[in-house]
Chains A and B, each alone.
Chain A
């Protein structure tokens, strides 16, 4: 049943990358449990603007869980207390009347804070630019039966491709490692014929870029997999290890 709840927010406020941040406490009253978490943030910002204060800066775009833009570390978990959803898909029905909700930005050396809850995730774009694509000309769209691909491979490639690059894996990792992200991007192509051509170069370049940007080393705790809104499996990390080691041995 929908109802209205009153909540207390502890929100990280930080003017810019250089200045020290702090938590501010806000009260938000009469929030419908049917509203989404980001709608609640909008209500908070309306409130702040009406009071003549600066609204809280946070990332968001599609608000349907496919763009990877929203982030937020809510009450001890990336994307909040629900499983398998992004922050924009989180609803206020997951909270109770009188709750105190902590809202923090992703914390990792690879993701410096730009302002308030927004972090700089261009490191992911740089990793993609280092090899997360197919550069061979595959021509026009071929007939579906022209290159047979085993169903399990196609499924696994699609599962890997569901990574939206939100960075929850890095935010959850005690090592600030980007291995789940990189492994998904390597897997989605390494499993398919068009991607296999450049598999070795891709694995080497993407791992080198990941290391260069200061992401940590994976210790296989599996926290990333638990917090991934798309349920990307750490089995992809084993594949990335295989692809990378194979490429290095071939050199």
Chain B
């Protein structure tokens, strides 16, 4: 096992597997976020958020998610440092005129660092407030959970209020596009790295990857913009 993880392909396997895990997570995250668009003053969203916080399965997967992020970020930096070393100090004076290589595939680290900066801001905005410090906006409200009136944190108020600030909406919208670009290469690349690709599946995976990437990325952006435009006050 140790020799696997010290090999180039082993390290990339970790990168690919953690990437696939995060791809799955993003789908669930987007599904929950989309409930913010239900025009009931956030009752559905609060119920879903409450379910996500209290659900025992989530309690187990939350640390797993943190590990997934950490592995992906740490190995991303580690592999890039190795790759720069392998490339050597000398650059081509005549530049790089290879055609047909996507911009995203060559800038995964830059896109990743952008997303990391966003992630820190994002966690400070919500996760820290919900899990640690608390916030007056979170004051519990009554929601109907499967027929039972329950007191839950008003997560919707916290999110809704922050999406009232234009700069936050712009940051989220831009991060959504950055995420789409990162995923537009990351999706098929993860499958290729774990060995699940050939000439036929490559076409399928890149197509599915593009659809997934822009659906998820623009989905997050759109929810933030719609919250700003139509869900205030």
Could you tell me which A residues sit within 8 Å of B by CB distance?
Answer: 10, 23, 73-77, 81, 102, 104, 107-110, 172-177, 207-208, 210-211, 214-223, 226-227, 233-235, 237-242, 244-245, 248
- Beyond A73-B94, A216-B86, list 6 extra A-B contacts (CB 8 Å): A102-B94, A107-B91, A174-B96, A223-B98, A233-B199, A235-B199
Contacts of A235 in B (CB 8 A): 197-199, 202
- Tell me if A220 and B94 are in contact (CB < 8 A): no
Across the interface, do B13 and A227 meet the contact criterion of CB distance under 8 Å? no
B25 contacts the other chain (CB 8 A)? no
Q: Chain B, 55-92, contact with A by CB distance < 8 Å: what is the 0/1 string? A: 00000000000000000000000010011011110111
When chains A and B are docked, how far (Å) is the Cα of A109 from the Cα of B79? Answer: 15
Chain A residues lying within 8 Å of B8, measured Cβ to Cβ, are: 207, 210-211, 215-218
B146 in the interface, Cβ–Cβ < 8 Å?
A: no
**B23 on interface, CB distance cutoff 8 Å:** no
- Nearest chain B CB to A166 CB, angstrom units: 15
User: Nearest chain-A residue to B89 (Cβ)?
Assistant: A109
User: With A211-B7, A217-B79, A241-B9 as given contacts, are A222 and B105 in contact (CB-CB < 8 Å)?
Assistant: yes
- Majority-rule SS of B interface residues: helix
B154: interface (CB < 8 Å): no
CB-based contact A176/B92 at 8 Å? no
Q: Looking across the interface, which residue of chain B has its beta carbon closest to that of A241?
A: B195
A109 and B86 contact, CB distance less than 8 A? yes
Contact among B3, B92, B197 for A76, CB-based, below 8 A: B92
Chain A residues lying within 8 Å of B98, measured Cβ to Cβ, are: 76-77, 172, 223, 226-227
B71–chain A nearest beta-carbon distance, Å: 15
Task: Verify B88–A241 contact, CB threshold 8 A.
Answer: no
**Minimum CB distance partner of B186 in chain A:** A220
